[in-house]
Amino acid sequence: MRLGVQAASQPGAQDASAGTPPAVAPSAASAQRSVRSEPLICARGLVKRFGSIVAVDGIDFDIYLGESFGFLGPNGAGKTSTMRMIACMSPVSEGTLRVLGMDPAVDGAKIRARIGLVPQEDSLDLELTVLDNLIIYGRYFDIPRRVIRERAKRLLDFAELTDRAHSKVDPLSGGMKRRLTIARALVSEPDLLILDEPTTGLDPQARHLLWDRLYRLKAQGVTLVITTHYMDEAEQLCDRLVVMNDGRIAAEGTPHSLIERYSTKEVLELRKPLGMTGVAERLAGIADRVEELADRVLLYTDDGDAALEAVRLREFPYEHALVRRSTLEDVFLRLTGRSLID
């Protein structure tokens, strides 16, 4: 499927004819290598304060063309504040931020002209139709109506909303509204798509459909910046990510490298009897590391089955045991001492 959505390989180059977009980002990979020295987004010592509250506390990151970059962290970690600064909707309190080579404080409108934002809270016009929402939004970018209609066809197809084009937004499901918000953010053919918790509040089926669509965009070379508190989302969609906690970056890397660095290959999860104490001592020596949660014990080891055997030999009274691979959730737990979703 062809979409009118591409990461322009040069800032000055958009498709020459609206109706026929070029093959999408033909050289995203090579472009990514060639511009490695010049990130699309660059933050140094970035701070966001609200009065005396420090939401973002001096973070550094670089995001490159064609990359899918994630901010993983629990609610209140500072992800949304960071996104709003990148989207030039919220002024930087301290530090430097460059987006597409420009300073948001000076060239906010120019940067926003090249960004697509999918905010955490939908801001669709519920009384207007699906198509009208796209047209209105495209007009904000001063794109001619004719061009918007042309793009809208493809975007509605992409968002699986073609048959709802003329229905009002209000009765649409949460998943449909999210997909429309994404389609709307793409109507300006942005160089950069920012998604703030794109799947929060959606049912599993709607989430998977959305992931599939984002995966297609990624495959077409669109640069994605995603925040999420779902580790599976981060693992599926992000080439590279930072783990945020309390306004700071706790770690950075690819999902795989983070797991390798901060966790073991496997995890043995034991559901422990209620009110049991002294668990760590009873399990000492079995695994590289033991984490005790309210209801479960996690044993980090490279061989989960062997660990389970050892647990059985010690006659530890678990209710249920599960051997699984390490995930970003384990990385987060290791780095912050708490789970992603409380």
Partner 1 sequence: MYNVVEPWGLADVQGARTPPSLRVLAYYAYAYKRTWRSSVTTSFLYPVLYLAAMGVGLGSLVNHHVRTVEGVRYLTFLAPGLLAATAMQIGANDSMYPVMAAIKWIRTYFAMLATPLKVRDVLIGHVAWIAVRLSFVATIYLAVMAAFGTVRSPWAVVALPAAVLTGVAFATPLSAFSATQENDQGFITIYRLALIPLFLFSGTFFPVSQLPGWLQPLAEATPLYHGVALSRMLVLGDLRWWPALGDALYLVTLTIIGLVLADRTYHARLVV
13 belongs to the binding site for partner 1 (CB under 8 A): yes
Among 32, 71, 15, 2, smallest CA distance to 221 is for 32
Question: Which of 128, 279, 306, 323: binder of partner 1 (CB under 8 A)?
Answer: 128
> 289 φ, ψ to 5°?
-155, 145
CB 198 within 8 A of CB 182: yes
Q: Using the rule CB under 8 A, which residue among 1, 106, 109, 294 binds partner 1?
A: 109
Residue 180 or 209 with smaller CB distance to partner 1: 180
Among 65, 117, 155, 268, binds partner 1 (CB under 8 A): 117
Angle at 162 (CA atoms; ends 156, 167), nearest 5 degrees: 105
- Region 262-291 residues binding partner 1, contact defined as CB under 8 A: none
Neighbours of 232 (CB within 10 A): 14
The amino acid present at 132, given as its one-letter code, is D
Ramachandran assignment for 216, one of left (phi > 0), alpha (psi -120 to 50 degrees), beta (any other): alpha
**106 near partner 1, rule: CB under 8 A:** no
Residue number, 31 or 286, with CB nearest to partner 1: 31
**Using rule CB under 8 A, residue 38 touches partner 1:** no
User: The tokens 């009873």 sit on which residue?
Assistant: 282
Under the binding rule (CB under 8 A), the answer on residue 124 touching partner 1 is yes
Q: Is 137 in the site for partner 1 (CB under 8 A)?
A: yes
Phi, psi of 334 (to 5 degrees): -65, -40
Provide φ and ψ at 242, rounded to 5°: -115, 145
Residue 256 within binding range of partner 1, rule CB under 8 A? no
Say whether residue 18 binds partner 1 (CB under 8 A): yes
CA-to-CA distance for 266 and 325, rounded, in angstroms? 4
Binding-site member from 34, 123, 173, 257 for partner 1 (CB under 8 A): 123
Tokens of 166: 């003329």
- Out of 122, 252, 260, 303, name the contact with partner 1 by CB under 8 A: 122
- With CB under 8 A as the contact rule, the residue among 27, 30, 34, 50 that binds partner 1 is 50
Q: Under the rule (CB under 8 A), what is the footprint of partner 1?
A: 11-18, 50, 87, 89-91, 100, 102, 107-110, 112-115, 117, 119, 121-128, 132, 135-137, 139-142, 144, 146-147, 188
